[in-house]
Structure 1
Amino acid sequence: MSISPETIMQIDAISAAYIDLAFAIERHVEGFVDAYFGPPELKAHAKHREPAEIVTALASLREELRASDYPQQRKGYLESQLRGMETTARRLAGEEIAYRDEVRACFDIEPAHTPEAVFDAANAELEALLPGQGSLAERIALWRRSFEVSPEVAQQMIAVIAAEAHARTGTELIALPENDSVEFALVSDKPWSGYNWYLGGGRSLVEINTDLPIRAGSLLDLVCHEAYPGHHTEHALKERLLYQGRGWGEHAIQLINVPECVISEGIATLAADMIFGDDAYVWAAEQIYPLGGIVGDPEREARIAKAQWVLRALSGNAALLLHEQGADPEDVVRYIMRYGLRSEREARQSLRFISTPLWRTYTFTYFVGRDLLGRWIAQGDRVERFRQLLTEQMYPSMLLDQ
Structure 2
Amino acid sequence: MSLNPLAEQYVKLVLAIGLHHPHYVDAYYGPSDWQPTIKEPLEAIQQQVTELVDTLKKITPSESETLRHTFLIKQSESILTFINVISGNAPKFDDESLALYDAISPNKTESEFDNVLLELENLVPGDGSLSERMVAFNAQFEIPKNKLDDVFKAAVVRSREITKQFIPLADNENFQLEYVTDQIWSGYNWYKGDNFSLIQMNTDFPIYISRAVDLAAHEGYPGHHVFNSLMEKHLVNEKGWMEYCVYPLFSPMSLLAEGSANYGIEVVFPKPERMVFEKEVLFVLAGLDVSQAERYYEVQALMQKLSYADNMVAKRLLDGEISEQHAVELLVKYTLVSKARATQRLGFIKANRAYVLNYNLGQDIVKAYIEKHANMQDKTSVWQVFADLLANPRPASLLV
TM-score by length of 1: 0.92
In the alignment, residue 83 of structure 1 is paired with which amino acid? E
Which of the numbers 198, 202, 209 marks the counterpart of 2:195?
202
Aligned to 1:111: 105
What SS does the corresponding residue of 1:213 show, helix, strand or coil? coil
Aligned to 2:324: 329
**TM-superposed deviation, 1:92:** 4.0
Which of the numbers 256, 265, 280 marks the counterpart of 1:263?
256
For 2:91 and 2:259, the matched residues in 1 are separated by 26
For 1:60 and 1:384, the matched residues in 2 are separated by 38
Aligned to 2:45: 54
On the 8 A contact 2:256/2:393 being kept in 1, the answer is no
**TM-superposed deviation, 1:295:** 2.1
Matched, 1:212 2:225: no
Aligned to 2:6: 14
Aligned to 1:366: 359
In the alignment, residue 240 of structure 1 is paired with which amino acid? K
For 1:33 and 1:195, the matched residues in 2 are separated by 14
Matched, 1:150 2:144: yes
- Written as runs of structure 1 = structure 2, the 5 A alignment for 1:63-212 is 63-68=54-59, 69=61, 71-93=65-87, 95=89, 97-171=91-165, 173-212=166-205
On the 8 A contact 1:132/1:139 being kept in 2, the answer is yes
For 2:368 and 2:43, the matched residues in 1 are separated by 39
For 1:79 and 1:220, the matched residues in 2 are separated by 35
For 1:305 and 1:389, the matched residues in 2 are separated by 28
**TM-superposed deviation, 1:149:** 2.4
For 1:123 and 1:145, the matched residues in 2 are separated by 19
**1:50-89 superposed Cα distances (whole Å, 9 cap, x missing partner):** 1122122112111222334351111111111111111012
In the alignment, residue 42 of structure 1 is paired with which amino acid? W
Cα 1:138/1:93, change in 2 over 3 Å: closer
For 1:15 and 1:158, the matched residues in 2 are separated by 38
What SS does the corresponding residue of 1:312 show, helix, strand or coil? coil
**TM-superposed deviation, 1:106:** 0.7
On the 8 A contact 1:51/1:90 being kept in 2, the answer is no
**TM-superposed deviation, 1:263:** 0.2
What SS does the corresponding residue of 1:311 show, helix, strand or coil? coil
**Which moves more between the two structures, 337-346 or 263-272?**
337-346
**Which moves more between the two structures, 259-268 or 79-88?**
79-88
On the 8 A contact 1:52/1:93 being kept in 2, the answer is no
In the alignment, residue 55 of structure 2 is paired with which amino acid? E
TM-score by length of 2: 0.92
Matched, 1:340 2:332: no
In the alignment, residue 85 of structure 2 is paired with which amino acid? R
On the 8 A contact 1:20/1:47 being kept in 2, the answer is no
For 1:66 and 1:332, the matched residues in 2 are separated by 41
Matched, 1:38 2:30: yes
**TM-superposed deviation, 1:281:** 2.1
Which of the numbers 308, 321, 344 marks the counterpart of 1:313?
308
For 1:374 and 1:368, the matched residues in 2 are separated by 10
**1:258-311 superposed Cα distances (whole Å, 9 cap, x missing partner):** 001000001111122101102212211111111121023444333222211122
Unpaired runs of 5+ in structure 2?
Answer: 375-381
**Which moves more between the two structures, 27-36 or 378-387?**
378-387
Aligned to 1:281: 275
For 1:74 and 1:243, the matched residues in 2 are separated by 12
Task: Output the aligned Cα RMSD.
Answer: 1.8
For 1:305 and 1:187, the matched residues in 2 are separated by 25
**1:11-50 superposed Cα distances (whole Å, 9 cap, x missing partner):** 921111011100111111111001111111111x466321
For 2:335 and 2:251, the matched residues in 1 are separated by 27
In the alignment, residue 167 of structure 1 is paired with which amino acid? E
Which of the numbers 280, 298, 303 marks the counterpart of 2:298?
303
**TM-superposed deviation, 1:326:** 4.0
For 1:141 and 1:370, the matched residues in 2 are separated by 25
The aligned length equals 387
What SS does the corresponding residue of 1:288 show, helix, strand or coil? helix
In the alignment, residue 392 of structure 1 is paired with which amino acid? N
In the alignment, residue 182 of structure 1 is paired with which amino acid? F
**TM-superposed deviation, 1:113:** 2.9
For 1:225 and 1:94, the matched residues in 2 are separated by 32
Aligned to 2:19: 27
For 2:127 and 2:322, the matched residues in 1 are separated by 33
**TM-superposed deviation, 1:96:** 5.1
Identity of aligned residues (%): 28
Aligned to 2:350: 355
In the alignment, residue 332 of structure 2 is paired with which amino acid? M
**TM-superposed deviation, 1:384:** 2.6
In the alignment, residue 335 of structure 2 is paired with which amino acid? G
For 1:92 and 1:222, the matched residues in 2 are separated by 30
In the alignment, residue 66 of structure 1 is paired with which amino acid? K
In the alignment, residue 126 of structure 1 is paired with which amino acid? L
On the 8 A contact 1:21/1:46 being kept in 2, the answer is no
For 1:26 and 1:106, the matched residues in 2 are separated by 16
